Chain A
Amino acid sequence: MSAKSFSRLALLGLSLVLFCLSGATVCPLYGAEDASVDFLSDDFYEDEPETIEVGDPLEPMNRAIFSFNDLTYTWVFDPVARGYAGVLPEDVRNSVWYFFNNLQEPVRFINALLQGRFRDAGRLLARFLVNSTIGVFGLTDPAAQELELPPIEASLGETLATWGIGDGFYLVVPFFGSSTLRDFSGTVVDGLMLTPYYTWADSFEEIATIYVGKEVNKASLHLGEYEELKKLTFDPYIALRNGYFQYRKKLRDHGPDEE
């Protein structure tokens, strides 16, 4: 990757992080994230809905972007993904997914360390080494399937959360989907700056192509799920927003045995 584009991206990433840091201090919204969810308590159902904790002050804009994403998905991504799925067998598409996922393990490793999750960091390193070697450059996932090392989540957004930085607010990002100000800044840095396959690229067009290719591949593995979900909802925007926060809580609940 050329020095010029790298520094441009670095600037973008850094400015986003700084922006969210300043945003988080100006509107300090509940920095520390909740402990595990307790489904067995009746309070769980009396509590305020997930979104209230973080806030959605940009709701009109978010709804507009959501509609845009919805249309783009239905009319562009989904047909392309279906065509792609028709051409490439599922095994191959799964391998592509595993390959990209594996290349992000080093970033997760760093984030786990920064969060003090040393045991998870060790596991992530093990996953990366096993999958890159025995797993044939990451095309398969023997770590999860044979060695009881399932995928572990660790992102910059979560690192910033453990450092006490508030989410800022809910954000729907074009093409990308649900996130929050803090988490998306993290994604930009994690994804664009630190992930190998982007730094290998020589130009912005290449980065965009890789990103689109990766997303189409991912979409091809989940055809129809989004439409099914929408059929059963009354307000897909809210359903997705609420689902995003609940899902994220579960992803970040690493249980009592982390060191």
Chain B
Amino acid sequence: MLFSILLACLLLAGPSSGGAAVPDPTEQFKPFVEKVVSILTSEEFKKDDKCQKCQRIITVAQEHFDFYEMSKRVLGKQWRKLSKEEKDQFVTLFTRLLQYAYIGKVEDYANQKIEFRKQRIRGKRAEIQTVLLDKDKEIPVSYILILKGDKWMAYDIIVEGVSLVRNYMEQFREILRKEQYAGLVKKLEDKIAMLDKEARATDGD
């Protein structure tokens, strides 16, 4: 944090004080989160046909969520052994899996408020600490971001101290150990098919 302040001062002190300072993560991320929530709770979204829903959310999410970075970390050593096509395939699958985590909770968002509390920046990494307020409960949620160009992209979500990426990482490790990469892909596809089916079933109401 101190280093970035120093750096910003040095840059601003120079003759060409063009915007070379590090952009503020919360300034970028907060409107993005508010946008996603407003889409999820909008009336037209709730009436939308299933596939339009998924695609829309993914497109918006990709503005500030870096699913590639997430996938890279979730697979750990296995990632380096994959071909380009396999990497792309995994990123697509993992993205679809995660989207269900959000779409499934639409009713919840109407009652929850998100408060942005603190942030810290270290070089090209940042952490934004927020709190999810739901009646009496306060759930701390942190986003971990990486600076790509001048855009902050999130690659992990920490809920009550539990990192989403680390949690999946340990699960995937077990599957990779017992069933190798092909087994993991199959499990992902099966799980997505199941979540999809469930979502379509509830949509009928």
Contact = CB atoms under 8 A, between A and B. Distances in A.
Given A234-B171, A234-B175, A235-B171, A45 B161 contact: no
Nearest to B169: A49
A115 B126 CA distance: 32
Contacts of A239: 167, 170-171
Contact of A234 (B120, B158, B163, B191): B191
Contacts of B68: none
Interface string A76-95: 00000000000000100010
B144 interface: yes
A238 B170 CA distance: 7
Nearest to A250: B161
Contacts of B97: 232
Contact of B165 (A45, A90, A232, A238): A45
A243 interface: yes
Nearest to A242: B170
Given A39-B144, A232-B97, A250-B160, A50 B166 contact: yes
Interface residues of A, number: 29
B160 A232 contact: no
B170 A49 contact: yes
B162 interface: yes
A187 interface: no
Contacts, number: 77
B158 A39 contact: yes
Interface in A145-190: none
B23 interface: no
A93 to B, nearest CB: 11
A167 B43 CA distance: 51
Given A228-B104, A246-B161, A246-B162, A39 B156 contact: yes
Interface residues of B, number: 36
A241 B169 CA distance: 12
A225 to B, nearest CB: 11
21 contacts: A39-B144, A39-B158, A40-B120, A40-B126, A45-B166, A46-B76, A49-B166, A49-B169, A51-B170, A90-B135, A231-B100, A232-B97, A234-B172, A234-B191, A238-B171, A241-B170, A242-B166, A242-B170, A247-B161, A250-B160, A250-B161
Interface of B: 73, 76, 97, 100-101, 104-105, 120, 122, 125-127, 135-136, 142, 144, 156, 158, 160-163, 165-167, 169-175, 187, 191, 195, 198
Given A40-B125, A234-B172, 19 more contacts: A39-B156, A40-B122, A40-B126, A45-B166, A49-B169, A49-B173, A50-B170, A90-B135, A228-B104, A231-B100, A231-B195, A234-B191, A235-B175, A238-B171, A239-B167, A242-B162, A242-B171, A246-B166, A247-B160
